[in-house]
Amino acid sequence: MSQAKKGLPGLSASIKDKLIQQALERKLRQAGQEQETRSMSGPAAQRSAIPEEYYRFELHPGYRQLRILNEGAARMGVRSPFFKLHEATASAATRIGGKPYINYASYNYLGMSGDPVVAQAAKDAIDRYGTSVSASRLVSGERPIHRELERALAEVYEVEDAVTFVSGHATNVSTIGYLFGPRDLVLHDELIHNSVLQGIQLSGARRLPFAHNDWAALDAILQDQRHQFERVLIVLEGIYSMDGDFPDLPRFVEIKRRHKAFLMVDEAHSLGVMGKRGYGIREHFGLAGKDVDIWMGTLSKTLAGCGGYIAGEAALVEHLKFLAPGFLYSVGMPPSVAAASLAALRRMQELPERVATLQARGRYFLELTQAAGIDTGGSAGFAVVPAITASSLRAARLSAALFERGINVQPILYPAVPEKSARLRFFVSCQHTEEDLRNTVAALRAAL
């Protein structure tokens, strides 16, 4: 007889077996409960404790902040000034909701978007090459119009070569992100564009800002830091798009040479705007193309297209063409866009009077606003003139008031700028008339 049965005297074998079975079932239940308790504190429990905002877009902190701002504006009776539908070409004038407006919200500085010659060039390129090159340029997306545009850009800068990208923002991100790394240093003006900051972050390089347009502050940083890094890049803008001012470029050229650093200038808003022929800040100061290592610009302002470019020495351009991810893994620029930008560049060269008119209109508008007691910051009157309100709410209300008076100008609000620097931002075109500008300043004074 087994030891188990010996320990249960006076019970039949069947009863003893049943009791043993029940005991085993109790042990199994207890083991299951213990396993469940352990699992409650393991991965499954952790999954059940994940906050909803980690997997629901409507609870994302950024979106919630946006909703708070929009709802607050609505309660104050301020309608959103963004995503207005323009129903025609937007230059000095536009149509929104079937009504005409004087327009200060487009970068069409020389009126090239809408120019019949530029439009025809785009149409001809579609007829010849189609609407897309349908591949990366490296493999089978290359077309003659790409090379023509790049040669023309290189000639403007008097450098060896140029390369175009399908996005202006991605031009800076990919170029800086690829060329520099964790052992390098990137120094930039404190008001530099977001695309530069994103490029630096991608690169992993050390980032140090310096005070706006302060070449002496840059020099001091380099005196202290240069020897700790391999490559050093300095990044400036030709015209700062929020403020309308520009750097003393010859000073920065001298500093970069002395400290053996690279200098990059973003000419998104200065090409077509500065210089007698519109050749940008280089022409304004009478510098040689090789004085700056990396010339960057966009095709979406003066050049009536979309995308960006890098111009400089052949080694730089060839390197980017074969290895920069933003070029290598992107489809080539649509032929119509390349053709439009090339035609716009040639039109700028054929019609220098447009550049002269733009510069005259910009100066005139700056003089009018300053005479009206409006804070224009450090604007030099080169096409970009801010009206600083020192309040996001005030800027939004002024934009709405001017819109009611037939004037379309965008407010720039926190966090795009500090709250104390909130503003209206006026982009002046060569197609604005002096009467347009006078009427606008009169309406702005009335709204204020």
Contact assessment for residue 263 and residue 292, using Cβ atoms and an 8 Å cutoff: yes
Region 250-274 average pLDDT: 98
- 286-332: pLDDT as tens digits: 999 999 999 999 999 999 999 999 999 999 999 999 999 999 999 99
Q: Cβ contacts of residue 92 below 8 Å, gap of 6+?
A: 102, 103, 111, 429, 431, 432, 433, 436
Query: Where in the chain are the domains?
Result: 93-110+352-446, 116-350
How high is the pLDDT of residue 414? 85
pTM assigned to the model: 0.87
Class of domain 93-110+352-446 (CATH, top level): alpha beta
Q: Look at residues 95, 90, 105 and name the one whose alpha carbon lies nearest to residue 384.
A: 105
Region 337-366 average pLDDT: 98
Region 232-256 average pLDDT: 98
Contact assessment for residue 146 and residue 134, using Cβ atoms and an 8 Å cutoff: no
In which band, very low, low, confident or very high, does the pLDDT at 264 lie, cut at 50, 70 and 90? Answer: very high
How high is the pLDDT of residue 59? 92
User: Cα(227)–Cα(97) distance, rounded to whole angstroms?
Assistant: 58
User: Cα(48)–Cα(224) distance, rounded to whole angstroms?
Assistant: 51
Residue 8 above 70 pLDDT?
no
Residue 371 above 50 pLDDT?
yes
**Topology of the domain comprising 116-350:** Aspartate Aminotransferase; domain 2 (3.40.640)
How high is the pLDDT of residue 2? 44
- Percentage, residues of the chain above pLDDT 90: 82
- 113-157: pLDDT as tens digits: 999 999 999 999 999 999 999 999 999 999 999 999 999 999 999
* Residue 361 CB-density burial (10 A; 0-12 exposed, 13-18 middle, 19+ buried): buried
Most confident of 23-27, 88-92, 144-148: 144-148
Q: Is the dihedral of CA 239, 242, 245, 249 positive or negative?
A: negative
Q: Is the dihedral of CA 217, 220, 226, 228 positive or negative?
A: negative
